[in-house]
Amino acid sequence: MMKSRFFLLLAVLPAVTARANDSLILRSLKRIAQLQPKESSVFPKGSIPSYRLYAWNGDRQKADINAFYTGLTVFTLRDIQQQFSAEQQRVSDAIVHRALPVFAKFRNRSGRYTYNFWPTDTAQIFPNAGWMNWFNRSQALPDDMDDTVILLMAQRAQDSVAKAVHALMQGYTNSGERNIHNTFAGYKHIAAYSTWFGKKMPVDFDVCVLANTLYFVQSYRLPWTAADSASLLLIEKVLSEKKHMHAAAYVSPHYNRSANILYHLSRLMALRPIPSLEKYRPQLIAEAGQAFADARSFMEEVILSTALLRWGAVPPQGKAWHATGLTELIEDERFSFFIANMASMLPDPLKQWLHSAGKFYYHAPAYNHVLFIENLVWRKKNGLG
């Protein structure tokens, strides 16, 4: 196998980097379009395919039909599209146009503007899971805040819709008769948002979900509520105690790793400064630099590089990864941006004891290209490309 130094080349060849970046962006956009189904088969037409791997059976991937990666792809491409050339914009617009109709499959069946990770038109849990699908209707998950805010922003929902969903969210917090039973003792009194909209679901905290929810609030300039402030307080406590570095899978059971948490926090902070988070910027930059040095894949380097660029820091030089080419590096199956963690809903101490038992690692090759494109855009914005 040859050694690939693509990321290093982008950092040290300023004379050709701008041209190389434009070429790489277009190349990745065309690869996303290639991977996006043109007709419905295993995956719905226009969706972004993803695959899950059970942690205890690490040799077999299953196709997983979900809203998450399609929503993130549309949201991210629309967020950075102003930096695209005319040709890049044309390819990106086509991807978005094909993807938007997919979201209807995941909207709440009552018609409200909340969304589910899995299809709601035919209730499922773990699509293509064999015998587990016998329980599709009885065990179907409720809608969740993460997919809801991502898909609303991806669709550029009207302000009135965002306002109505924000009002609905106030009924799903760690307060009143629904209290959390599986977080650190110092967090149990914080009335932050739960991950889930379902009244029967245990309250569940995830700092990445909270970061995305607050991004939604900031993006639509919604008036902050007590739950918004409590969610920010929870993030601050995690940062002050460095739980995102030492207990990442516990404070973010659905994203699982410090690199993913740092990426989400940088996205929130780059949208509009939040004073109580700004004091952690030097700490976060140092942590992202250390996580970069410890990265287990090229794509982990990519998202940490993006986090550093969002914080105004210059990313370190990347490793020399073994690969036959850039596409192999980007589509590396070892990188999981999202993890389905069924044990996250269990009360302690079961959550701690069984945290690996119900874990599924998700892989979405096309979305990895979106993350790579986003990094190239941020490099250009910071004068590095």
Residues 352-361 pLDDT 10s: 545 555 688 9
Which tokens belong to 260? 């993913």
DSSP letter string over 148-188? HHHHHHHTT--HHHHHHHHHHHTTSBSBTTB---SS-GGGT
Q: Distance between CA 14 and CA 158 in Å, rounded?
A: 41
Q: Which pTM does this prediction carry?
A: 0.91
Q: Is 233 exposed, middle or buried (0-12, 13-18, 19+ CB in 10 A)?
A: middle
Residues of the chain with pLDDT under 50: 1-5, 8-16, 126-139, 353
3-state secondary structure of 312: coil
Give the pLDDT score at 57.
64
Token pair 């809903």: residue: 345
- How many other C-beta atoms lie within 10 A of the C-beta of residue 114? 24
The domain segmentation of the chain, as residue ranges, is 3-381
Q: Distance between CA 92 and CA 377 in Å, rounded?
A: 14
Give the pLDDT score at 138.
37
Give the pLDDT score at 320.
87
Give the pLDDT score at 161.
98
Q: Which residues contact 63 (CB under 8 A, 6 or more apart)?
A: 42, 43, 49, 50, 51, 127, 128
pLDDT tens profile 279-288: 999 999 999 9
Q: Give domain 3-381's CATH number out of 1.10.357, 1.10.3470, 1.10.10, 1.50.10.
A: 1.50.10
Give the pLDDT score at 17.
63
One-letter amino acid for residue 8 of the chain: L
Asked if 71 and 154 count as a contact pair (C-beta separation under 8 A), the reply is yes
The CA-CA-CA angle for residues 61, 67, 68, to 5°, reads: 75
Give the pLDDT score at 1.
40
Which tokens belong to 292? 């970069």
Question: Using omega within 30 degrees of 0 as the cis cutoff, is the peptide bond preceding 349 cis?
Answer: yes
